[in-house]
Amino acid sequence: MNFFLWIAFNFVLYSFIGWIIEEVYAYFIKGNFKKEGFLKGPFKPMYGFAMTILVVFNRISHPNILIMTILSFIVPTTIEYISGDLLKKVFNKVYWDYSNLTHNFNGLISLRFSFYWTFLCLIGVYYFQPLVDMVYYHFFVIWAIIVPISIFFMMLDLAIIVKENSKININKI
């Protein structure tokens, strides 16, 4: 197995799954599938980063369920906060706002959603990831082509977004 391809595969897959989760959530909350996001394509990198960190950690160290639960709370919550703060400072735009929820911090994270992420991450790591690994190994040759192409399109999407948002304020970082 190519470990770096496996990591990239997980990142792309969970970024795509994150997009699906947010689209479905937007449909049930707002009544439509159009949820504004940072990238225009079907990827939510925050989900990709969080889940990839968790599945890699689980693969390497095999922690007990308590450690994985704590990490499943901390990792996505931290990534969500850092991402929201950077997006707000760099692009002068707020992509989500939890200010109306109790137990929020700067409107960027909330206890309620941190618990949602914890639950989803644990389901992902313990129940979904074995299936993901099976699909990865079974179709390795295909992923060796699809994953780099997907990452290329993510990077292209990012470059387009940066170019479109010429009001970027790097000094605020």
Angstrom distance (rounded) from CA 54 to CA 106: 25
pLDDT of residue 164: 80
In whole angstroms, what separates CA 98 from the centre of its chain?
18
Q: Is the pLDDT confidence value at 123 over 80?
A: yes
Full domain range(s) for residue 48 = 3-172
Q: What are phi and psi of 81, to 5 degrees?
A: -65, -50
DSSP class per residue in 49-85: HHHHHHHHHHHHH---HHHHHHHHHHHHHHHHHHHHH
Nearest to 88 by CA among 104, 105, 107, 116: 107
pLDDT of residue 32: 76
Name the pLDDT band for 13 (thresholds 50, 70, 90): very high
Q: Is the pLDDT confidence value at 38 over 80?
A: no
Nearest to 84 by CA among 51, 106, 62, 66: 106
64's torsion region: left (phi>0), alpha (psi -120 to 50) or beta? Answer: beta
Name the pLDDT band for 1 (thresholds 50, 70, 90): low
Please say whether the beta carbons of 115 and 77 come within 8 A. Answer: no
Nearest to 137 by CA among 4, 49, 6: 6
Q: Is the pLDDT confidence value at 166 over 70?
A: no
Question: Mean pLDDT over residues 69-83, rounded?
Answer: 98
Which of 37-41, 74-78, 146-150, 158-162 is predicted least confidently? Answer: 37-41
Q: What is the pLDDT of residues 77-121, one digit of tens each?
A: 999 999 999 989 888 888 899 999 999 999 999 999 999 999 999
Report how many domains make up the chain: 1
Of residues 2 and 8, more confidence is placed in 8
Residue 102: strand, helix, or coil: coil
